[in-house]
Structure formats: structure tokens, C-alpha cells
Amino acid sequence: MSEYGAPHVLVVEDNSALANVLKFNLKRSGFDVSIARNGREAWDILQNHPADLVIADHQMPELSGIELCKLIRGHDQMKSIPFILVTAKQMELDIGRIRTELGITQTFSKPFSPAAIINAVRDEMSLAR
């Protein structure tokens, strides 16, 4: 939870327009939102401002969404954070294997519906309570 009592969602997306669309919709739905432009920046943010849920793009500079998820899963205090992966490469990835190995909560193909992501976040937050 953020200092405001709202669940903290970290959006990790190198496309600024898409990151801002997600931030707008998540904030409107009552979540506290931080944005990171790549996996390395996200990891740095998580060290000081733990998230209740992470939404990350698969392909990003410095650390991919999958590499970020591996770091999170390897950290004792963060390993249970729900993780949603968004990707333009859904057809090229073995999503079932990735989800199983890394405990990725859900995956979404780009382009996706922001409403579908908001619903997924709400579902995860209700399960976490």
C-alpha cells in the first residue's frame, strides 16, 4: 500500500503514451501509480517504494520484463508481488512456460484494452486481501 492507503501499481513501459494511458486509467480506478521507462529503472524504484503489483512490457531497454520478473521472484520480500506481462510478441513466446516458471499472473497482447488490464489489477488486488 502507498502512503495514501491505495494499492501501489508499478507500470514498466518504454512507450510513454502507453504508460500514460495505463497510469491515467489506474489512477482513475483508485490506485497509486509509479512509472518506470525500463526494467532497470523499475528495479531501482522497487528498492525504495515496494509495489503491490507490477505491470511490465516484455521488450524494454536495459532489463526486459522477464528479466525484471526474475529479479523480483529472487527477492524474498518481493517474490509474491503479482506480475502482469504485456507483449507484442505473444505468438513468439512460450507464454505457458513463462507464466509457470516465473509465476506471472497474467499476460496481455498488444494492443490491449486498458479496461481489461484494470479488471485484471482489481482481481489481483482482491485476491491479495
pLDDT tens digit sequence for 53-108: 999 999 998 899 999 999 999 999 999 999 999 988 665 667 788 888 899 989 99
CATH number at residue 31: 3.40.50.2300
The contacts of residue 55 (CB under 8 Å, 6+ apart) are 9, 10, 11, 12, 13, 22, 84, 86, 117, 121
Q: Is residue 118 part of a domain?
A: yes
Q: Are 108 and 22 in contact (CB under 8 A)?
A: no
The distance between the two most distant Cα atoms of the chain, rounded to a whole number of Å, is 40
Q: Is residue 1 part of a domain?
A: no
pLDDT at 1 over 70: no
Domain assignment of residue 16, given as a range: 8-128
CA distance 22 to 11: 8
Q: Is residue 3 part of a domain?
A: no
pLDDT at 129 over 60: no
Q: Is residue 45 part of a domain?
A: yes
Q: Are 65 and 12 in contact (CB under 8 A)?
A: yes
Give the pLDDT of residue 45: 96
More reliable by pLDDT, 9 or 2: 9
Number of domains in the chain: 1
pLDDT tens digit sequence for 116-127: 999 999 999 887
pLDDT tens digit sequence for 4-50: 578 999 999 999 999 999 999 999 999 999 999 999 999 999 999 88
Q: Is residue 117 part of a domain?
A: yes
Q: Is residue 114 part of a domain?
A: yes
Rounded to 5 degrees, what are φ and ψ at 123? -60, -45
SS3 content of the chain, % helix, strand, coil (to 5): 45, 20, 40
